[in-house]
Structure 1
Amino acid sequence: MAFGILIVVGLKTTWRGYFILLFYFLVHCRWHAVSSWTWDAQDETCGICRMAFDGCCPDCKLPGDDCPLIWGACNHAFHLHCILKWVNSQSAQAHCPMCRREWQFKE
């Protein structure tokens, strides 16, 4: 089902004296989504080093070393060593590497 709205936006005269009606025709259509895309906040890899969270980051020697996960206020998770390097490498205010929001540690 669709319906339209005619909106007159102006009247213009050509060099021969003819009038031209300027208008827009807006069409409203009903839309039915077949599928949708959502961001998976429960990603299983670090967004900086791309290593799995159940493994270890490149700075750690062995899996199981003290490499905890750190969440930001934006709900993105990273290895502790990875996000600390990222924050320290930013010259100005640090931003989340995934969504570019201002980085703040989740409390």
Structure 2
Amino acid sequence: MKITINSYNAVAAWKWDLPEGSDDTCGICRVEFEGTCSKCKFPGEDCPILIGECSHCFHTHCISGWLQSESSQGRCPMCRQTFREKVAEVKSSKSNRPRTPAARQPQQRQGSASSSGSG
């Protein structure tokens, strides 16, 4: 049997450099970090990961939405400790450039409004 390949599409692969022992899925949406949260179309820099001092990891959009809800009371959805962002560098293996800590507020998407002032 002879097979001829007429065309093919290349696919790039990468993964987040997460802290040792951390889960590889978002604790809120339960999607793997190599995927995207429900608000993003593509994985990577547009769907960054935020790590709490408690070492739980979340998509930035997921944890921002959680923390803005009244029921969260500013606590981690996994361990219920007061959620504070861990000041650490998260790198994508696609790039050796260190990521700065994720923004405290999610980027506004079309159709959403913000009540916070500009800084």
Scaled by the length of structure 2, the TM-score of the pair is 0.52
Superposition CA RMSD, Å: 1.9
Instruction: Work out which of the two has the higher radius of gyration on C-alpha atoms and give 1 or 2.
Output: 1
1:48 aligns with 2:33: no
1:74 aligns with 2:51: no
Q: Percent identity, aligned pairs only? A: 51
| Alpha-carbon displacement from aligned partner over 1:55-81 (angstroms, at most 9, x marks no partner) | 110100123351111001101000000
Larger relative contact order (Cα-Cα within 8 Å, sequence gap ≥ 6) = 2
Number of equivalenced pairs: 68
Q: Which runs of 5+ in 2 are unaligned?
A: 1-19, 88-119
User: 2: distance between equivalents of 1:104 and 1:98?
Assistant: 13
State the secondary structure of the residue aligned to 1:105: coil
Higher strand residue share: 1
Q: Which runs of 5+ in 1 are unaligned?
A: 1-39
Q: Which runs of 4+ in 1 moved over 3 A?
A: none
